Amino acid sequence: MTDSPQGKHLIAGAWTRSAATFRSAPAQGPARVFSSGDAELVDRAAQAAEAAFWTYGSAPRRTRADFLDAIAAEIEARAEAITEIGRQETGLPPARLEGERGRTIGQLRLFADHIRQGDYLDRRHDPALPDRQPLPRPDLRLMQRPIGPVAVFGASNFPLAFSTAGGDTASALAAGCPVVVKGHPAHPGTGEIVAQAIDAAIRATGMPAGTFSFIHGDSHEVGAALVRHPLIRAVGFTGSLRGGRALYDLCAARPEPIPFFGELGSINPVFVLPHAAAARGRQIAQGWTASLTMGAGQFCTNPGLLVLPAAAADAMLDAASAALADAAEQVMLTEGIAAAYCEGRDRIAGMAQAVLESDSRGRNALPSLYRTTADAFLASRAMGEEVFGPLGLAVTVQDDDEMLDLARALEGQLTATLQMDQGDMALAGRLMPVLERKAGRVLANGWPTGVEVADAMVHGGPYPASTNFGATSVGTMAIRRFLRPVCYQDLPDALLPEDLRG
Ligand code: NAP
């Protein structure tokens, strides 16, 4: 069993080096040399994925389910090696990496069960009505079919659950789509070991070699070549608004545009309603800071914005500031992310009033807290832009109407949270129609970090939370992104997909 990175790409079953290389920049431990991909390797991987699609895409569901279970088992077999290199590359603590590995394996098994059950096929049948007047009705059957090869970009902030074998890959493979992954250069060794696990599962279950390829890269060339490749049918992405938007525009500019499922950015507003603020403001403030600093704030669901009644603000922000002042420095995922955090903090500092200022150094981050008024927030679009890291912005409102105005002015969000008591029900009822339009997930009296992988989960939302607000990148509904409905009219049974016969 291979469980150490060799610095190679996996192209259709062959481990390959390329002339160009890059050095990893781990948080701790030795830097390693990795091959860096190019357009020619992308072409080979995409051609192999297309060739594999003709068998993999129409393989029985149980075959694909067994393959997903085999990937989970191969990842489990490499557990220690994955945690060790993940710790070195990302600086994330082993417990977080172990938890994320469990989630990754759980996701693969969830999709295996999901496709075994078969409800996702959404099979429909309108039987023929030969005697209908004035015209007969034909026999119509509908079923979801896989779309073809899918490109997946590994995310910097989830080296396992949103990367090489993460939710995008698991849902695409479950749908019947071969996958080409562009590994994230922040954790290339982790990505390569997971690719070794998928390669082993392909061999063990006899899947076509082109079902999965993995390309290292630290230049935009690989990503751009991948989304432009004519054989790629859709893209799954988690990352920055700027990078995601650039790739989305490339997808739209292709001679044949393809869907780009990007999860880009969100400030995840938390609305503290007046009765809850009066009854348990300090407790809410402390809960907020715990969610805000989890994982150094490097979660897409980080609750960066707190909207609260002005009357409760001083007491709540004192409590939040006291809780944050005790927070220890946390190492960030990359030097680039640490630098972007400091830039974002300085940007907010130029627009809002400091409650707790921090002096983060190098790759380490300390939390910061700022406050402003609804008037000032509504006047400045820049205050609503995501700062990726442990930064909180509290916006005070004078009354219920101002809270509603602020909610209406927000951009699309992954989540919106209500902190409310029974006495807040009327205001919550007024906010709900607005929040439903703004966010993919609306929560009451919880915190948005910690996303369940489940049937009813939505991890998506209107732009810029995601580029496609009908989709989710977490939970079983994520499979829909890589399917399209086909209607079969009057086809003999023998020509129908196996799942539609009879
Ligand atoms: P990123 O810069 O968006 O990069 C993600 C992936 O996209 C990388 O593989 C990158 O390839 C590729 N890429 C980016 N721009 C491209 C372009 N113009 N053409 C082709 N490929 C392109 O995200 P990141 O590196 O993970 O982190 C940077 C910032 O993103 C963070 O500071 C943070 O603000 C934000 N972020 C947000 C979330 C979220 O969930 N909201 C998650 C992670 C990061 P290369 O190898 O060429 O760089």
3-state secondary structure of 485: strand
Q: Which atom of ligand 1 is nearest to the CA of 221?
A: 20
Read off the pLDDT of residues 174-219 as tens digits, 9 standing for 90 and up: 999 999 999 999 999 999 999 999 999 999 999 999 999 999 999 9
Determine how many CB atoms are found less than 10 A away from the CB of residue 359: 8
In the predicted model, is pLDDT for residue 2 greater than 90?
no
Closest ligand 1 atom to Cα of 156 = 26
- The Å distance, Cα 67 to ligand 1 centre, comes to 30
- Tokens representing 386 are 């995501």
The CA–CA distances, whole Å, from 241 to 52, 247, 272 equal: 32, 10, 27
For a mutational test of ligand 1's pocket, the pick from 152, 240, 363, 388, i.e. the residue with the most ligand atoms closer than 8 A to its C-beta, is 240
Please report the domains of the chain, with CATH numbers, ordered by start residue: 32-128+136-264+466-500 (3.40.605.10), 270-444 (3.40.309.10)
Atom number of ligand 1 nearest to Cα 241: 3
| Tens digit of each residue's pLDDT (9 = 90 or more) over 105-127 | 999 999 999 999 999 999 999 99
pLDDT at 102 over 90: yes
pLDDT at 359 over 90: no
Residue 44 has pLDDT above 90, yes or no: yes
Confidence of residue 439 (pLDDT cuts 50, 70, 90): very high
pTM (2 d.p.): 0.96
Cross-strand bridge partners of residue 141: 125, 488
Predicted pLDDT of residue 361: 79
475 pLDDT exceeds 90?
A: yes
Any alpha helices (H) in 57-93, and if so which ranges? Answer: 61-77, 79-90
For the stretch 316-336, pLDDT in tens is 999 999 999 988 899 999 999
CA 408/CA 435 separation, integer angstroms:
8
Q: Render 263-323 in DSSP notation, one character per residue.
A: E------EEE-HHHHHHHHHHHHHHHHHHHHGGGG-STT---EEEEEHHHHHHHHHHHHHH
Query: What does the alpha-carbon distance between residue 273 and residue 494 come to, in Å, rounded to a whole number?
Result: 61
Q: Which residue has the tokens 């989960």?
A: 457
> Is residue 234 a contact partner of residue 147, using CB atoms and an 8 Å limit?
yes
Q: What pLDDT does 91 receive? A: 94
Q: Which residues are catalytic?
A: 263, 300
Cα→Cα distances 228→159, 171, 260, Å: 25, 22, 11
pLDDT score at 1: 80
Best mutation site among 21, 156, 261 for ligand 1 pocket (most ligand atoms within 8 Å of CB): 156
Residue 163 DSSP one-character state? S
